[in-house]
Structure formats: structure tokens, C-alpha cells
Amino acid sequence: MTAPYRVFVTRALPGNGFAQLLEDPAFDLDVWPEDFPPPRDELLARVAGVDGLVCLITDTIDGQVLDAAGSQLRVVSQMAVGVDNVDVAACAERGIPVGNTPGVLTDTTADMAWALILASARRVVEAAEYVKDGEWKTWTPTQIAGIDVHGATLGIIGFGAIGQAIARRAQGFGMRVLCWNRSPRPKEAAAVGAEQSEFDLVLSQSDFVCVSIALTDDTRDLIDARAFELMKPGAILVNTARGPIVDEDALAAALRDGQIGGAGLDVTAVEPLSMDSPLLTMDNVVVLPHIGSASMATRGKMADMAVANLRAGLAGQPLPNSVGS
Ligand code: GLV
């Protein structure tokens, strides 16, 4: 019998695919047992000699990790659609395919963008805390009054699968939907009743601006002080993509100065967000701990895809889903 494939998995995964992998004699798995990611020195030590690596967005997979693994490494399989934590170019230089998990999380993440749109507009978190804090004494005409979502204009920055799914949901709310994508997507826009527009116009005309674009060198700080100046007073920013796409200092300043009306963030520039962040002192900001794709069903599907990518990579076959190849 040939030696089992050695694989380092940076956290135990949900789903049947992973359970089967654990039982499969063809694999020798080393699974990091903690909820926190392996510290850098552990990561570098544990990848030495592995044939496959399964990782999460919390793991920085760069040239040093790949070199520590060695030239036998055949596949890096990430359980996420975004791979900004993986140096994809360094993998490509070494001929290592990088797997990701698109598609299965599209609707779950779009649902979360909508949860943030509604929570921010209708002050849901603030209102729930108001009740828990015993502040609910009566009913008044303007008590915790927010802004309407139905009939408003929704702007979507980045019009990939998730952006389109966010737009599709807006139809039920009778919204005008504007979208911007680096490479224009007029057909996709028309298919979901959206209008493709210029970046500045999406910002200046929307009541809600949803960020749904991959983090790259080009999109880092895409939503900066200038963008906030363009936005309508009272507009709400929602980010379910990656934190560094938004300049967080500029966001805090825009909120503090009343330049925009609120923010719903599933992601922050540094995760977890520091408890010292001014964003946490603002009633009109909802911050979630990066749970856009976090339904049990979707996380199970993502894990299964990551396992399928791992298996294919180890077998020398094209990955069912890969990036940068
Ligand atoms: C999660 O953020 C992902 O990229 O899948």
C-alpha cells in the first residue's frame, strides 16, 4: 500500500466529507484541535512534509509557509470563497493549485447583507437592547424610528454572484438598484432588475451602499473619505465582503460627523475588531463577527467542497473549484 497522504487541517471542519476523510486510511490527517488558529510557529512546523493543506481565512498562507511545507505539497484548499489570506501568486509559482468554495455560500451571504440592511435601517439591535435594558416604558410616535427600506435606492459595489443575489432580493422591497463592477456586467444587472452605473453615482444616489467585492490591492480602501463625502447624508453602508475594502478611520469619522447615517458590518479591517474601536461606541453601527456564510447547512457544504478540492489536488486532478489557475 502506498503511504497515506499527509494533510494538515488548520481546524476541525463540519460536514460529511471531513468525517469521511478522518476515517479514510488513505489520509494521515493532522487536525489543529483549537478554535484559535495555529500560531505561526505551529503552522510552520506542522506543514513540514505535508502533501495537502486545508486552511481558513484566519490563516496566513504565504511563501514562507509553502517553503516550510516543502516541494511535495500538492494542494492548498481553503474553506472560503475569498482567498486574500493566501498568496495565490506564490502558490502558482510553485505549481500548487488553490481551492476555494464559491457558489454554495452566495445566498446565505446575500441573506446576511439583507439582515444588516434591515437591522441598520430599522435599528433592530438598538431596539432589542432597549427592551433588554428595561427602557421600554411606553409607545411614542418617534420611538426608535428608523428609515424605510422599501422604495429606497440600493447601491451594490461589486456585482459578482453575491452582489447579484443581494440585488435579486431587493426586488421584493420595490427598490431601485444601482450596481458597479470593475468589468461592466450589463446583462447580469438587467437580469436582476438593476442598473449598471458609475462608481461615484452609485455612492451619491444610494440610500444603502452594499460592498460585495473581493479584496485585492486595487480594492483596499476603495471606500475611503472621498467615497463617504459622495454618499448621501443618512445613507447606510453595509459590508459583507472584507474589512480592508473600507477605510475604517474614514468610516468612523463619517459616522461621527453625521456624513452618513449608519453602518452594518459583518467584516472589519482587523478581525476580531478591537474593543477600543470607536465603531463600538456608536448606536448606529451594527458589527457582526464575520458570519456571512454561517448557516450550518452552508458551512457543511463549504467544508465538503474544501475536502473535494483537497482530494482532487492530491490525486493530481483539476480541482472542482480553484482560483488563480
Ligand atoms: C468568507 O468570508 C468567505 O470568503 O467565504
Per-residue burial over 310-325, b if 16 or more Cβ lie within 10 Å, else e, is bbbbbeeeebebbbee
Predicted local distance difference test score (pLDDT) of residue 2: 75
**In this structure, what C-alpha cell is assigned to residue 169?**
432580493
| Percent share of the chain, pLDDT over 90 | 98
Q: Model confidence at 91, in pLDDT bands (50, 70, 90)?
A: very high
Neighbours of 165 (CB within 10 A): 19
Mean of the per-residue pLDDT values of the chain: 97
pTM of the model: 0.96
**Residue 293 in contact with ligand 1 by CB distance below 6 A:** yes
Q: Model confidence at 3, in pLDDT bands (50, 70, 90)?
A: confident
Distance CA 295, CA 50 (A): 31
Predicted local distance difference test score (pLDDT) of residue 39: 98
Largest CA distance in the chain: 76
Residue nearest to atom 1 of ligand 1 (CA): 80
Positions marked catalytic? 242, 271, 290
Q: Residue 307: pLDDT above 60?
A: yes
Grid cell 443581494 is found at 166
Q: Which atom in ligand 1 lies closest to the alpha carbon of residue 100? A: 5
Cα 65 to ligand 1 centre (Å) = 21
Q: Residue 19: pLDDT above 70?
A: yes
**Closest C-alpha to 55, from 285, 309, 272, 283:** 309
Q: Model confidence at 324, in pLDDT bands (50, 70, 90)?
A: confident
Distance CA 87, CA 101 (A): 17
**Closest C-alpha to 131, from 117, 146, 143:** 143
- The answer to whether residues 46 and 52 touch, using CB atoms and an 8 Å cutoff, is no
Q: Where are the beta strands (DSSP E) in 127-169?
A: 153-157
Q: What is the dihedral of CA 58, 74, 97, 84, to 10 degrees?
A: 20
Supply φ then ψ for residue 251, to 5 degrees. -65, -45
Distance CA 178, CA 100 (A): 28
**In this structure, what C-alpha cell is assigned to residue 218?**
486595487
Cα 23 to ligand 1 centre (Å) = 27
Q: Which atom in ligand 1 lies closest to the alpha carbon of residue 242? A: 2
Q: Residue 325: pLDDT above 60?
A: no
Mean pLDDT value across residues 207-227:
98
- The answer to whether residues 209 and 179 touch, using CB atoms and an 8 Å cutoff, is no
Q: Cβ neighbours of residue 229 under 8 Å, at least 6 residues apart? A: 259
Q: Model confidence at 144, in pLDDT bands (50, 70, 90)?
A: very high
Mean pLDDT value across residues 238-248:
98
Residue nearest to atom 4 of ligand 1 (CA): 82
Q: Residue 57: pLDDT above 80?
A: yes
Cis omega before residue 97 (within 30°)? no
